[in-house]
Amino acid sequence: MKTIDGGLSWQTLQFPSIKDISDVFFVTKTTGYAVALDFEAPPFGTIFYKTTDGGDSWSESRYRHDDVYLIGLHFLDSLNGWASGLEGKIAHTTNGGEEWIAAQTDTSSFTNFPILGFSFFDDNLAFGYGGHIDIAGVIWKTTNRGEYWRAYGVGPEPIRGLIVFDSLNIIGIGGDFEYGTAVVTTTDGGENWDYRSLDVFGVPYGLSFRNENEAWVPLGFAQKFIYTTDKGTNWIQYDVPDSGILYDIQFTDSLTAYTAGRFGYIGKYSRSLVTVENEDFPTIPVNSGLGVNYPNPFNPETIIPVYLNEPSIISLKVFDIRGRETTVLANGWYEEGEHKFTFKAENAASGIYIYRLDIIGSSGNKESVAKKMILNR
């Protein structure tokens, strides 16, 4: 589907043949590529499509290796592009898709897992992401223009979106149906990764930053977004309008975003259509809850965020691993919004601590939740 009026109307584009199209990537308004899987009749494999007239017509070509299934595309320009696929397959083109050449990968135990997509920092440094449910989340890294890729196991569940801030700092989103959403980060260019569960129901299917600090993620069947205003340290849930089941989101700039999902759902976010008091919209969380402390592990202090969607009486306490109360951080009436509490542990011993939040909302809703943190001296 294609729009030329900012999403007010959509035109359905026709491909030369009916295939299961898995990704589309445009490098200009007129030049774009698509990739599809061919299961109609042997030999099975991958079909590439290319348009140079904005999608009005498409040329079709078959990947030269049969039984290879490529599902993701990323182009740097009209000539240089990469395709990712099942069983850890990667191919690249330097002539606008006229020919695709298989790239080399390492021999680690994670290499042959599905690669769902790419995120590039520059011509030389790039990352692939993917994995397999209940087995491993995997990130691939290249430093030589995609000629060779090294695989890293970064967690127990697939990574479904990745943003490269710079050559050192990267954030990804992942998870599965059973354990929910997780965030993976690195501060050393991908040599070491931290995988952190958010305890949020739903599977992430995309990641897009609205500005330098604020990012949004659709959670599919959970019918929610999560968003962050601090580059992924803390996340807040937000209900999808009209209970949509969404699988992707893209901000074209800080004022406009598009999201799409099941049953032809297409949504548009427009800043000019929303009245807000400051840049941190929305300021009131959809749900009350307890955030993940940061940093964690910590020494000697850490910040614990609390989110309230209505004025509430809260109790926030810290306990040692034996269940003995050590500190009362909050005990009283707080207005709706985000509140941050600092736990200082100058005289405490190293180890695991529990912080527990009890909430009684002004509407009568009650909630109690606890999380772990580690003091590491």
Question: By C-alpha distance, which of 316, 376, 375, 367 is closest to 199?
Answer: 367
Given this model, what pLDDT does residue 284 score?
60
Q: Where are the domains of the chain?
A: 20-273, 289-375
* Each residue's pLDDT tens digit, 27-74: 999 999 999 998 887 889 999 999 999 999 999 999 988 999 999 999
pTM of the complete model = 0.69
- What pLDDT shows up at residue 276? 35
Q: Residue 286: its pLDDT value, please?
A: 63
pLDDT at 273: 39
In angstroms, the Cα distances linking 353 to 218, 266, 301, 345 are 32, 44, 12, 11
For residue 147, the model assigns a pLDDT of 84
Cross-strand pairs, 318 = 327, 355
Residue numbers of the chain with a pLDDT score lower than 70: 271-286
Cis, bond preceding 305 (omega within 30 deg of 0)? no
Nearest to residue 151, comparing CAs of 91, 232, 206, 90? 90
6-30 burial: b if 16+ Cβ within 10 Å, else e: eeeeeeebebeeebeebbbbbbeee
Q: What is the pLDDT of residue 145?
A: 83
Architecture of domain 289-375: Sandwich (2.60)
Could you tell me the fold of the domain covering 20-273? Methylamine Dehydrogenase; Chain H (2.130.10)
Query: Around Cβ 276, how many Cβ atoms within 10 Å?
Result: 10
The pLDDT value recorded for residue 81 is 93
Question: Which residue type sits at 22?
Answer: S
What is the token pair recorded at 30? 């007129």
Q: ∠ CA(67), CA(72), CA(75), 5° rounding?
A: 120
